[in-house]
Structure 1
């Protein structure tokens, strides 16, 4: 079974926020929550790069490890989802996540928090696929419709890749080889080691 993953090509991201807008529009994300956001590193100086960030659906997800009520679960495709009916809004997951993916919408006065919300990889939730209850809690289930996440489909430069982890890693690797930069590409050393030649 394919493991679904995101990869953002920082060499292609133009910080247009199309991915952010597509996500909010597709799922009617509550006010105060951004399931996806664009982060710019070295803003305004040489070497500036932007990258689209959301839940990375980790293989060893820290949010799952710290949740006291075990509202998180992993699908067969490797997508990390949560059950809002179980969530108690404690916030442990938001502290544990290195990507800041779990967020709590303000649902009242004095900063009262509701149930945690996060990127679902457009895979819905535990309710029946395509049901109104699923949409109201988690947004549209595009994976069940055979589609990729809206953020990746909306990306005008195809910087944001989503799908089978092996397939999108091959796409990214091919791009880097065609650029002829190898280890000079931002993030390459973290992903593939420090060798200067990709095939070496």
Structure 2
């Protein structure tokens, strides 16, 4: 059985927000809720990177651990979903999630907390697949239609990958190898430059030793 996961390649993300727009359009996400968002690190500085963030459907999801009414459940494909009929809007999940995935609708001047909403990996909810009730509460169930999440399919640079975890991991691994960035990315070469550039590791004149 496939185990669904997201991977975002920060080397390819151009902060176009097409993933955010695709999600909103596909599921008619309510105002004030962003199931997916693009986060930019070191904005305007050297090393600036952008990454698309949503629910990562964790294997050991902290939101499931803290929910007092157990509204979360995991599908056979590893997708973490929730039951809005059970949710009481306490907000514990929003504090526990390291990715800021749980969202609450904002209505009125000072906001109003209601039923929690989050990325469903385009897998719908507990209602009958393809039903109007499922669509109104959770959006379109693309997985039941044999399709991948809309955000991943609409990514203009294919930075966002979604699907079988083993498959997307292989795709990302191949990209890293082609780019020439393997195990040395966070190693000695990154910190001090390559031996040919810094002289580190080069033989000392007249000794033949480093």
TM-score, scaled relative to structure 2:
0.87
Q: Displacement of 1:113 after TM fit?
A: 1.1
Residue 74 (structure 1) aligned with residue 74 (structure 2):
yes
Q: 1:115-194, aligned counterparts within 5 Å?
A: 115-183=115-183
Q: 1:9-24, aligned counterparts within 5 Å?
A: 9-24=9-24
Task: Measure, in 2, the Cα distance between the counterparts of 1:110 and 1:178.
Answer: 50
Q: How large is the Cα RMSD of the aligned pairs? A: 1.5
Task: Measure, in 1, the Cα distance between the counterparts of 2:60 and 2:155.
Answer: 28
Aligned equivalent of 1:95: 95
The count of aligned residue pairs is 189
The ranges of structure 1 where at least 4 consecutive aligned residues each deviate by more than 3 angstroms after the TM superposition are 107-110
Deviation per CA, 1:12-56: give whole Å up to 9, x if none.
000000000000000000000100000000111110000000000
Gaps of 5+ in 2: 190-210
Task: Measure, in 2, the Cα distance between the counterparts of 1:157 and 1:128.
Answer: 34
Helix, strand or coil at the partner of 1:182? coil
Task: Measure, in 1, the Cα distance between the counterparts of 2:71 and 2:132.
Answer: 21
Are residues 24 and 195 of structure 1, via their aligned partners in 2, closer, same or farther at CA, if it must alter by over 3 Å?
Answer: farther
Aligned equivalent of 1:85: 85
Aligned equivalent of 2:44: 44
Structure number with greater Rg is 2
Helix, strand or coil at the partner of 1:5? strand
Helix, strand or coil at the partner of 2:174? helix
Task: Measure, in 2, the Cα distance between the counterparts of 1:172 and 1:83.
Answer: 33
Aligned equivalent of 2:203: none
Gaps of 5+ in 1: none
